[in-house]
Amino acid sequence: MKTRKLGNNGLEVSAIGLGCMGMSFAYGPASDKKEMIKLIRSAVERGVTFFDTAEIYGPFTNEELVGEALAPYRDEVVIATKFGFDIKSGKEAGFDSRPEHIKQAVVGSLKRLKIETIDLLYQHRVDPNVPIEEVAGAVKELIQEGKVLHWGLSEAGVQTIRRAHKVLPLTAVQSEYSMWWRRPEEELLTTLEELGIGFVPFSPLGKGFLTGRFDKHSRFDSSDFRNVVPRFKPENLDANQVLVELIKKVAAEKNATSAQIALAWLLAQKPWIVPIPGTRKLDRLIENLGAADIELTHEELRDINSALSKINIAGDRYPEELEKRTGR
């Protein structure tokens, strides 16, 4: 597996990471823990060194899963987790990035992950009630205490990123980015390049849509997050098939799969981009990792981007109340 560096602080990770959220949370019932431990360890054996989780996934159960799975490989891997939500009675109860809460959250994460230091700690969402300078100051203290190595922000706006970076240099920013969600290209990517911050796209396969698995007849488990996502309404799934067909065409020309083309396209945007596709299946894991070996030429990228620019994506990526939590 090829490696990439996130930011200017020396954090080197596999070119493709593994997002672990879906194993426990958001996409239907949690999978069997033993099977997911086996899958995570299979990823390590195939060269993956970058694993993403958060206290809110479950809550807590995903960190426990990742901690148990990676315990034998602690010195070989980079574990990223997140703070920023108030969790009461096993449910998310709004934001909480007060410094004292951040420190409590980190103590819990360290215990569940079975580690002494968090490699990369993100603020999961910007808390409008706590100045980002206070958040950065709290994380700075945690770094000084040896509990955290690097820090980052998730779904933050560029002004917040700049303010945070002044207090404590950011290693990475995590946000959604894919062929069907390209808003980071408007100002986020240029800001990250200017400041020397790495970028970690989540949902790089459009929550599975870009693989070609879904159409207007697709239905999801009652506990699946996609039920509330406007883009997954039948009429929008149908309208957006034009994007799926474009990716399939490119995949056929490159003797690759649609998922591999979607990931290779992301990797080709910048050398400091590290996507974290999630999966519960070994064959999908192997398929996704194969994207690291696919190179899109300048001409191929130009043609793909030209075709993408002519496609109008139907449906919002989040319900309105969730979209309000991003880009602050």
Q: Each residue of 95-122: pLDDT tens digit?
A: 999 999 999 999 999 999 999 999 999 9
Whether a cis peptide bond, with omega within 30° of 0, leads into 59 is: yes
User: Does residue 173 fall inside a structural domain?
Assistant: yes
pLDDT 10s digits, 135-184? 999 999 999 999 999 999 999 999 999 999 999 999 999 999 999 999 99
Question: Which of 27, 57, 122, 177 is labelled catalytic?
Answer: 57
pLDDT band at residue 275 under the 50/70/90 scheme: very high
Sign of the four-CA dihedral 271, 272, 273, 275: positive
Q: Which domain holds residue 79?
A: 3-323
Domain membership flag for residue 328: no
How far does Cα 123 stand from its chain's mean position? 13
177 lies in some domain? yes
Does residue 148 fall inside a structural domain? Answer: yes
Residue 131 lies in a domain: yes
Active site (annotated) includes residue 57: yes
CB atoms within 10 A of CB 44: 18
Q: What angle do CA 135, 141, 143 make, to 5 degrees?
A: 105
**The model scores a pTM over 0.85:** yes
Distance CA 83, CA 101 (A): 9
DSSP conformational letter for 29 = S
Strand ranges inside the chain, DSSP E? 3-6, 11-14, 18-19, 50-52, 78-83, 85-88, 91-95, 118-123, 148-154, 172-176, 198-202
Q: Residue 24 is part of a domain; what is its CATH number?
A: 3.20.20.100
Block residue for tokens 């986020």: 188
> What's the mean per-residue pLDDT of the chain?
97
| pLDDT of 89 above 90 | no
159 inside domain: yes
Helix (H, G, I), strand (E, B) or coil at 204: coil
Domain count, the chain: 1
pLDDT score, position 20:
98
